[in-house]
Amino acid sequence: MVLWLRLLSLVFGVTLWAASMVLASFMAGLALGSTVGGRLVDRARRPLLWYGAAEVLVGLSALATPVALAAVERAYVSLHPAFSPAPVLLAALWFLLAFAILLVPTSLMGATLPILIKSSLLQGGGLGGRVGLLYATNTAGAILGTLLAGFYLIAGVGTSGSFGLAAPTNVAVGLAAVVGDLWLRRDRPESAATAGDSRSPRCSRWRPSRSPTTYPSGQRQLCDARCRSAGRSSRASSRVCSPSSPHRS
């Protein structure tokens, strides 16, 4: 975010409005990616592979930033005279042009956390603790990246050099996730994983039930994730994951 904000300030200027529109477009991309990724990942049987692909694409899209920035700069120069008399229209133009550059990388970045949460659910364990750890790690990484970019990287190697360091790092993380997914599949073949999911201790207590019930906290989400990863439909997972008797969360 720091690097993109610095680059776009060279086109739009360093006014408060321009910086606010760039930041708003960045957050909008994260929100869009989180929403879409959270919906699509329920269909994923290999979420760790999805995460690796998303990280690789983030790195590649960051490398393409100079090309996209040149196109946005040309568009801004041609449109600025028509929009400059109205500050609100000019701010809208800043937002749309910044969003055009940041849409792909920020959407992919926003999708990574839901994908990681889905992958963590399939590994079992406490739902709250795992999600909390992932969210804390994600926030700590954002803080560290902001400090490094703002105080060291830009001053030390420049904006282009910082992109040259950040993009390969994203690609390396993505490739490591892909290798990890392949290693897990080799260590636990799909047939064994499917059988293990359907007979797992956490889901063995659940049996078909037609009566509405209140589920223990986190148990239904965990069981749903495991049933879907085993290839069950949402209706079938609802039958398998219905508790035998009402509980209080």
Query: Residue 196 domain-assigned?
Result: no
Q: Tokens in use for 137?
A: 């790690």
The helix or strand, by DSSP H or E, that contains position 166, with its residue range, turns out to be helix 154-187
Model confidence band, residue 67 (pLDDT cutoffs 50, 70, 90): confident
- Asked if the structure places residue 173 within a domain, the reply is yes
Same domain, 228 and 175: no
Percent of the chain surpassing pLDDT 70: 72
Name the nearest CA neighbour of 3 among 199, 162, 168.
Answer: 162
Q: Are residues 124 and 234 in the same domain?
A: no
Same domain? 54 vs 153: yes
Residue 33 lies in a domain: yes
Statement to judge: residues 10 and 70 lie in one domain: yes
Taking only Cα atoms into account, the Rg of the chain, rounded to an integer number of angstroms, comes to 22
Q: Are 174 and 52 in contact, with CB atoms under 8 Å apart?
A: yes
Given a cut of 80, is residue 46 above it in pLDDT? Answer: yes
pLDDT higher than threshold 80 for residue 88: yes
Q: Are 4 and 26 in contact (CB under 8 A)?
A: yes
- Give the count of domains, the chain: 2
- What percent of the chain has pLDDT above 90? 27
Range list of H helices, 41-153: 47-63, 65-83, 87-122, 127-148
Give the confidence band of 120 by pLDDT, cuts at 50, 70, 90. Answer: confident
For residue 247, tell me if it sits in a domain: no
Q: Residue 207 belongs to what domain range?
A: 203-240
Q: Indicate whether 21 and 64 sit together in one domain.
A: yes
Q: Give the pLDDT band (50/70/90) at residue 52.
A: very high
Tens of pLDDT along 155-165? 899 888 888 88
| Whether the model pTM is above 0.85 | no
pLDDT in tens, 18-34: 888 889 999 999 999 99
Give the SS3 label for residue 206: strand
Same domain for 181 and 58: yes
User: Is residue 145 in a domain?
Assistant: yes
70 in a domain, yes or no? Answer: yes
Taking Cα atoms as reference points, which of 138, 137, 120, 140 lies closest to residue 128? 120
So what's the pLDDT on residue 225? 56
Arithmetic mean of pLDDT over the chain: 78
Digit-coded pLDDT (tens) for 210-245:
444 444 445 555 555 555 555 544 444 454 455 444
Q: Do 233 and 152 share a domain, yes or no? A: no
- Residues 66 and 105 grouped into a single domain: yes
User: Residue 84's pLDDT band (boundaries 50, 70, 90)?
Assistant: confident
191 or 59, higher pLDDT: 59
Mean pLDDT of 92-101: 91
- Are 21 and 132 within one domain? yes
Long-range CB contact pairs, 92-97, < 8 A, 24+ = 94/12, 94/17, 94/18, 94/21, 94/22, 95/21, 95/24, 95/25, 97/11, 97/12, 97/72
The pLDDT score that the predictor gives to residue 16 is: 86
- Shared-domain flag, residues 29 and 89: yes
For residue 140, pLDDT over 70 is answered with: yes
In a domain, 197, yes or no: no
- Residue 131 inside a domain? The answer is yes
Comparison of pLDDT for 194 and 221, the residue scoring more:
221
Same-domain check for residues 218 and 131? no
Contact at 8 Å (CB) between 199 and 101?
no
Distance between CA 172 and CA 98 in Å, rounded?
27
Residues 181 and 207 in one domain: no
Residues 6+ apart with CB under 8 A from 88: none
Nearest CA to 229 out of 51, 43, 53 is that of 43
Instruction: Give residue-wise pLDDT tens across range 170-184.
Output: 999 999 999 988 887
pLDDT of residue 124: 61
In this structure, the number of other CB atoms found within 10 A of the CB of residue 140 comes to 10
Q: Please tell me the distance from the alpha carbon of residue 180 to that of residue 192, in angstroms, as a whole number.
A: 18
